[in-house]
A = this chain, B = another copy of it.
């Protein structure tokens, strides 16, 4: 037992978080900013923040993750970080030459009250921002929300800074991608192309966090949404925003600032959410859903009906982010699995309401919680009380998996100990087949490993 101190008696906690199912805002802001072409994220705080975020993202992607920091010391904390940021902006443009610096704040700079807008304004006034270059800034205090909040704030900041309605409507749809993998971003673009819809996907970390090995390092890889594209989003016909937590803010900003109406859908994970996404695309793009899409859907349904017996009734514990957990849990319910325990450290009242809608009738025994103390320790305690057949979540689940001997599918952030997530999508119908393949793989492996010899099956 590695987690030897976890017992099944749940004691109510109001202050202590143990084994969190979330992390802090700035890493989300950093990830979002990486999805912009030619952008260097900048962490306005102690250099440890930047180091931690880069390390975590690097471990998840096994790819270079570049970002700079204001390197606060005690002095800056007392006198404010303006001098540090101004110097940083100067150095960054001089040495690393990005097109954009995307500054996010930290708990430190927020606590001391640094006004990023004012500082960036001063940098501009002081001529520290070269012609044609940009500094975007977002307030991302670590003590509010979670990493997802930081992502949403940075996405909103870019829209606020760049998108502009010139009153010339462009026949394109904005896609706010939500916190998904580079592979997922590729897949969303592929689906949209299949629908014959011209779109701008933002942010877009494909070709940024899955770059080829070529013998040459490129600090600003070819991927990422371009400035021109983000600007043009203000002239689009419609926005399809994926994920209430990740994308709603930016969608509202686009609506308010540029009068681009939006439709809010879930991140297209699983069957029903992809159905809704495809329908939202169809409405937004004013196109019929082509047969090729229906065929991909049909292949997914085919796998579901073929493999139903291995999925049916399986009890699942999940942890992660609301925008991915909601459609994923719905998918599990769709295919007769029983998502019985769900935690997310990310707060937001909609979580409980929507989970109740999805689970209420079908899985009345389900326990779910988000926000403070909705952590992996609590989930593990629930599991100790009554076990599950499957775990789905980030790498930290491996301790529970090993201690309890429960099959484990890695999904979410961060995945620190396996590869694949960067390359193979889990969104869309095809992505849902991958989710099925992964779940079936571990469930069937378990069956193969534990079946008595006489009932070891050749055909399954």
Interface residues of A (CB under 8 A from B): 1-2, 59, 62-63, 207, 210-214, 294-299, 301-307, 395-396, 398-399, 402, 416-420, 423-424, 430, 433-434, 436-437, 440-441, 444, 448-449, 453, 456-460
Contact = CB atoms under 8 A, between A and B. Distances in A.
Contacts of A453: 1-2
Contacts of A294: 212, 214
A189 B436 CA distance: 25
A301 to B, nearest CB: 4
A456 B398 CA distance: 9
Contacts of A444: 417-418
A210 B298 CA distance: 10
A416 B213 contact: no
B213 A448 contact: no
Contacts of A395: 458-459
A211 B298 contact: yes
B213 A305 contact: yes
A437 B458 CA distance: 24
B437 A302 contact: no
Contacts of A297: 212
Given A398-B458, A402-B449, A302 B213 contact: yes
Contacts of A302: 62-63, 211-213
Contacts of A295: 207, 212
A434 B424 contact: yes
The quantity of this chain's copies bound in the complex is: 2
Which residue, A212, A418, A449, has most C-beta atoms of chain B within 10 A? Answer: A212
Given A212-B299, A297-B212, A448-B402, A419 B306 contact: yes
Given A302-B212, A448-B402, A460 B423 contact: no
A78 B441 CA distance: 49
B456 A416 contact: no
A456 B423 contact: no
A336 B210 CA distance: 23
A183 to B, nearest CB: 10
A390 to B, nearest CB: 15
A449 B294 CA distance: 41
A109 to B, nearest CB: 29
A210 B460 contact: no
Nearest to A401: B448
A62 B423 contact: no
Contacts of A420: 433, 437, 441
Contacts of A423: 299, 303, 430, 433, 437
A424 B127 CA distance: 53
A411 to B, nearest CB: 14
Which residue, A1, A211, A213, A436, has most C-beta atoms of chain B within 10 A? Answer: A213
Given A213-B298, A303-B419, A416-B460, 4 more contacts: A212-B297, A398-B456, A419-B437, A424-B424
Nearest to A445: B445
Which residue, A207, A305, A396, A424, has most C-beta atoms of chain B within 10 A? Answer: A424
